[in-house]
Amino acid sequence: MAKKRKVTGKKSAPSAPKRQKKSPRAKAKKPARAVKKPARKTAAPKAAAKKTRPHALPHPRKPTRTKGRTMPTPGASRLKLGSSPYDGGLDRNPANFQPLSPLTHLSRAAATYPETIAVIHGKARLTYAQFYSRCRKLASALAKRGIKKNDTVAVMLSNTPAMLEAHYGVPMTGGVLNTLNTRLDAAAIAYMLDHGAAKILITDREFSSTVKDALTLVKKPPLVIDYDDPEFPQSGAKLGEDYESFVAEGDADYNWQMPGDEWDAISLNYTSGTTGNPKGVVYHHRGAALMGYGNVLAANVQRHAVLLWTLPMFHCNGWCFPWSLSVVAGTHVCLRWVRAPAIYDAIAEHGVTHLCGAPIVMSTLLNASEEERKSFPQRVTFLVAAAPPPEAVLAAMDTAGFEVVHVYGLTETYGPAVVNEWHAEWSALDSAGRAAKKARQGVRYHALEDLTVLDPETMEPLPVGDMGEVMFRGNIVMKGYLQNEASTRQAFAGGWFHSGDLGVLHEDGYVQLKDRSKDIIISGGENISSIEVENALTKHPAVMFAAVVAKPDEKWGETPCAFIEKKRGHDHVSEADIIAFALENLARYKAPRHVVFGDLPKTSTGKVQKFVLRQRVKELS
């Protein structure tokens, strides 16, 4: 077993005056305690977990199942001696209790706004009535091929109408939707098809080459259905049946069923898998339904909003927006490829009000040429995840007509579960003050019950400003990892979901990330936050992206090594220039000793792949 590295309790950046939170037994301020990196090998001691459950909700009695519906526990209505009258004669029944599911978002939108445009793709348009009908036909066709509760249907699709239809059609059968990352190689796709036991695979012809190779590796090949995009035809080989012909087999009046239990699985999403095989994260109907309301509130999504799909729908089910947008009967504008001209054209032509993505999408917009840009009268809300954008980028986005909302979450939390709720008075702060507020990840979504920072070893609360592990608890936390009970137990140790992210809790309750536990650099016994160093480097006018990882050092143990992707027209900037700039803006021990220029390796959602950079550092060393 690898030896665990300690992360000392020293703060990595100045914070508000420390206010000691007292535990029930503590009467005096406790001395600062070393905070270790989150241990995933063993669960926290039961005694410690028990003491740190001030917000734990009581577990209701498990109901029984009758004919596919949740029914009251037999005998639950019988009053016991001394019990309350509220405990009897008020049982759950079909009239007063129905499982939550995002499927009802679509059925309501179609019934209420049948002629409202639901989907735009190229020249194609689908009203909500037509969209709902196609989803039911897809569900019917899947059911005719034997898809039923807990059967996995995998899709390898771009942001197209077929991907949106799959988000409803598959769960309408009781099946589980597995959206595959279209950037992965054949071996990874084959692993996911096998691990998720996919019975049907719907794949875009653009990805035929990868899928064909993957099918030769799977143990039990699924039924393959080819999607040939009528708006943007692809030339990839046909591997199975035609999607439109398949959907045509279905019944537009298919009597789909609600889940028997809102805890039933609705989708399967695989983590990045930077080491070993990726883990399969399972979502349930309840969480997906609640995200509908959570996203609408966090992003201030108005009725009939128009969402441009700059975020891959395979990523956390598009942060659940394929379901959420139906809450307000909004319009999906599909975008097959994320390119600046297409984005600007769509915003101007369709009146786009919202889009989502990583900072790389903002860079795409801001670095577009004048010929590629289009003017538009509306303000567009941009939900951005990952590291908070620098103040200069936020200012440029504001000038370009975008209102940036910073969110944070993980695959295990249905995508974003934390939002930086902005206060009007913060806008009056100077540039540095606004940047400090925007650098924080924020507070919990309405749909999340609890968010905090704890000592990962003791599961005890930490003083304000002290670094610990960010932890989640609530209905938009995953069911668990598919066929991986050990990892599920470790992730939920102590009654909280362990994010693996290190951060601090500010006095006003806002969480701010300092680093991933594995990304903390320990130099001469001092903690260095790679995020802090990256934020400083991106203020240099020549730096587009910066990523910092630890480089082994004989004297200090580790020192920061910076990987820099330059902006166009700044080829003359040297390693010495970057180091000098860092020394002016950081404590000396935090400044990078080495700088490497070049394109940064990124995931399909724009996140920097630091595991690749760590390997490069090993090669450099």
DSSP state of 231: S
Is pLDDT above 70 for 76? no
Whole-number pLDDT of residue 587: 82
Whole-number pLDDT of residue 525: 63
Count Cβ atoms below 10 Å from residue 189 Cβ, excluding itself. 26
pLDDT in tens, 392-436: 788 889 899 999 999 999 999 999 999 999 999 999 999 888 888
Domains and CATH numbers, the chain: 103-251+261-505 (3.40.50.12780), 520-621 (3.30.300.30)
Q: Which of 260-269, 271-280, 594-603 has the highest mean pLDDT?
A: 260-269
Whole-number pLDDT of residue 21: 45
pLDDT in tens, 526-566: 778 888 899 899 999 999 999 999 998 877 778 999 999 99
Q: Say if residues 134 and 126 touch (Cβ distance below 8 Å).
A: yes
Calculate mean pLDDT across residues 244-267: 97
DSSP state of 350: H
Whole-number pLDDT of residue 358: 82
Pairing status of strand 468-473 against strand 480-481 = unpaired
Percent of the chain with pLDDT over 70: 85
- When pLDDT is cut at 50, 70 and 90, the band that residue 15 belongs to is very low
Match 């303000």 to its residue by tokens: 379
In Å, what is the CA distance from 617 to each residue of 522, 559, 561, 595? 16, 11, 8, 11
Q: Say if residues 190 and 613 touch (Cβ distance below 8 Å).
A: no
Q: Say if residues 306 and 351 touch (Cβ distance below 8 Å).
A: yes
Q: Say if residues 445 and 298 touch (Cβ distance below 8 Å).
A: yes
Calculate mean pLDDT across residues 293-307: 97
Q: Which of 241, 251, 255, 288 is nearest to 138 (CA)?
A: 251
Q: Say if residues 394 and 404 touch (Cβ distance below 8 Å).
A: yes
Count Cβ atoms below 10 Å from residue 588 Cβ, excluding itself. 7
Q: Say if residues 284 and 263 touch (Cβ distance below 8 Å).
A: yes
pTM beyond 0.85, yes or no: no
Match 């190229």 to its residue by tokens: 122
Calculate mean pLDDT across residues 225-233: 95
Q: Which of 417, 497, 511 is nearest to 462 (CA)?
A: 511
Is pLDDT above 90 for 242? yes
Cite the beta strand spans of 47-173 per DSSP E: 64-66, 69-71, 117-121, 124-127, 152-156
In Å, what is the CA distance from 56 to each residue of 348, 474, 496? 48, 10, 10
More confident site: 522 or 399: 399
Whole-number pLDDT of residue 108: 98
Match 């943007």 to its residue by tokens: 232
pLDDT in tens, 107-164: 999 999 999 999 999 999 999 999 999 999 999 999 999 999 999 999 999 999 999 9
Q: Say if residues 7 and 37 touch (Cβ distance below 8 Å).
A: yes
Taking the C-alpha atoms of residue 459 and residue 52, their distance in angstroms, rounded to an integer, is 7
Q: Say if residues 119 and 340 touch (Cβ distance below 8 Å).
A: no
Is pLDDT above 50 for 464? yes
